[in-house]
Structure 1
Amino acid sequence: MIRKLIPIALPVLALVGGAFGGDMLRAPADPPTHEAAAADDHAAPADDHAPAPDDHAAASDDHGGGDDHAAAGEDGWFTFPTQFFVPLVRQGDMGDLMIITLTLQTDGASLEALRKKEHALRDALLRQLLIHANTGGFDGNFTADRNLVVLRQELAKAATGVTDLPIKAVLIEDIARQQG
């Protein structure tokens, strides 16, 4: 009888243990939003000597990072919400895959306009990444500083080619090569 129950009980126990472990490892809940913080401020007694809440610390929306409240003279950063996946094709076969996270440095006033141009910018940057991959740019030691400088310059040129917004630099946040 027990021999018949073990094949059924083991997967159930593994599922419960995995769910419990995943719940324990899950990131903490999101920090309170700006509206929730404002509601808390109204509920608490006013303190004339307390510093004003910092609007610059508010989290950005889901469509890219950056500081939404940056002044025109301050730098702003637009992080693409998803990574770039670049296949490395050699002799018709996809061997490896490059995974890259990019951020554009601009002025604070241009962040919203960059969000509206996200699809055109993503297309231009991915096109340039594919050209870089097909010309051997990710072969060998692709993380050498001189190779990354060339890649950043190519990406900046591609980004400025599709928009007249000021793009000061292209930042490579993450770069990894995954074996195919």
Structure 2
Amino acid sequence: MIKKIIPIALPVLALVGGAFGGDMLRAPASPADPATEAAAADDHGAAPADDGHGGGEDHGGDDHGGGDHGGGDHGGGGDPTEAAYFQFPTQFFVPLMRQGDLRDVMILTVTLQTDGANLQALSKKEHILRDALLRQLMIHANTGGFDGNFTADRNLVTLREGLLQAAKAATDAPVTAVLIEDIARQPG
């Protein structure tokens, strides 16, 4: 019994360990966030040194910095018609099972295209969207979509169309395209 469980459990444990390790080593998801954090760290770092001499200037800088960063990061009113992109913070892992055995694992990085006004709405629906896309990826895998040359253009078009329909069904926010940034097959 244990001899049957070990070949299945080891790849699953390796997959979970790799995902956890990758998540721990991953850079912050949004390029705007590190700039905001760095600016905040610089302002807070300067505040104690200038506490006695320029406290009013630092507070003025914080007000301007907070307003500028708030408008840039959450720019719902900035350019609502301009294309915006929601990238899932973690990759999608899709097991490829054949006759009850784990053969390979597909690893995908997916981004959704929307407009600037609906980017925050997509962010709030991340878990529902992730579930819908993973369900569609499982269907694609179980119907042989990742067999053979899965990077052929017609196969990727089919995959994107399926993911786009799943995303549109999962949320009322407009999703105009699904971008597959990374795709790889890892032996199981």
Range class of TM-score, shorter chain = 0.5 to 0.7
Measure the CA separation in 1 of the matches of 2:96 and 2:135. Answer: 13
Question: Which protein has the larger Cα radius of gyration, Structure 1 or Structure 2?
Answer: 1
TM-score, structure 2 as length reference: 0.64
Q: Distance in 2 between matches of 1:34 and 1:89?
A: 48
Shift of 1:34: 4.3
TM-score with structure 1 setting the length:
0.67
Q: Which structure 2 residues correspond to residues 42-121 of structure 1 after superposition, within 5 A?
A: 55=69, 68-69=74-75, 71-121=79-129
Identity over aligned pairs, percent: 61
Residue 177 of structure 1: how far off its partner (Å): 0.3
- Bigger fraction of residues in helix: 2
Of 161, 164, 174 in structure 2, the residue corresponding to residue 156 of structure 1 is 164
CA RMSD of aligned residues (A): 2.9
Structure 2: stretches of 5+ with no match in the other structure: 1-24, 28-33, 47-56, 62-67
Matched, 1:35 2:43: no
SS at match of 1:154: helix
For residue 183 of structure 2, what is the aligned residue in structure 1?
175
Aligned residues: 137
Aligned to 2:19: none
Contiguous gaps of at least 5 residues in structure 1: 1-25, 47-53, 59-66
Counterparts of 1:132 and 1:72 in 2: how far apart (Å)? Answer: 33
